[in-house]
Structure 1
Amino acid sequence: MYKAMDYKLSTRYCPSLTIFTGLYCLVFVFSAVAPFSRPVWVAEIIPAVGILLLIWLVSRSFQFSKTAYLLMFVWLGLHTIGAKYTFADVPFDWFNQAIGSERNNFDRIAHFSIGLYAYPIAEYIYRTNRMSKTLASLFALFAIMSLAASYEIIEWWYAALAGGDEGIAFLGSQGDIWDAQKDMLCDTLGAITAITLFWLKQPLKD
């Protein structure tokens, strides 16, 4: 059973957030040094920095679990690495060969990790007594699916606006006409995985 002070006041020091942010800063510096395309890097890094700032802002009043922080920083790290190389060119041959694919699937893994944000979304809603566990899980799932669709629209818009090699690099479809749909599927599968973990780790409140 959660007590009010456990989630409504979180002004105390949060070691998990500080540690993960420190590790992310190392990845950020690595990504910022000689990226494949500086304009693409800037376009890709803006949402990552925005999410990081949002995590810190929310954490001023609500402290997530260590699991939630870990899952949130998985995507931040992967996305920032992808920004350095562009997602189609990240050195990821070992994985592609392991699954017998000629396509660079780093972007698919990154999209799956976006879905992991369903865990902190559901955790926040549930622990602040806004919804039942079932409704919190459904809200988190639909939120990720909406975000996935929105990002694909923004990605298409930027690629069309930038044009040329820069637009193609940002889009990262690698010639797959169903790339956007497959990306959204990966987001959704990540969300389902996160919600399953949420049900396993979060106890029912009395």
Structure 2
Amino acid sequence: MSAITVRLSSGRAYCSGVLISPDLEATPASRTEYVLTCAHFLRERSGPIRVGGAHFHARVLGAVRIPRTDLAVLRLDRPSPPKQLLRLSTHPAPWLAPTVTEGFGKSWHRLQHRTGRVLGRTPFALGRNLRTLVTSAAVLFNNPRAVKGDSGGPVLVDREIVAVQSMITDPFGWNTGLATVAQVAPHRRAIRAAVEALDAAY
């Protein structure tokens, strides 16, 4: 199991997320109470959200959704054990860059690593239900393919978090291997503001 990728669960529903430093920088052997994940998982969740990671369990105290994109920052009720936290990238996902997406899709307990490549970037993407909006999106091709449950998991390029998994392209139930991800660089200031708001609230 990755040291920083976690599983979020509420009832039988679950997604993925990633532990981040309050200053969004890479920090060795650091504890944190913050998780970056997909905002769409929080929709219609009224019960407690539990978080599980490597030798680590917590509950979500509060959340801030980043406007106009599928990103959210969570505050946990206890800090993680010391982790090698990764930096949130300040640059868009490079065209044709190789990627690794981490998530718990298809497996409650076993973390999956899905290699891929950036095919392009787009100003926005909209989900089939017209409720999930991703501004400053990127499109990846993954093999193995991203699946439900991977949502919220980190997309890594050169040991930096460039995005989180958001949506898959599966017309008529056929998974094409194309995935839409929510880039972090264009929303870095809003993510930092969300951390500060959660710090002040709790």
TM-score range (shorter-chain normalised) is under 0.3
* Structure holding more helix per residue: 1
Q: Which has the higher contact order (CA 8 A, sep 6+)?
A: 1
Normalised by the length of structure 2, the TM-score is 0.26
* Structure holding more strand per residue: 2
Max Rg structure: 1
Normalised by the length of structure 1, the TM-score is 0.26
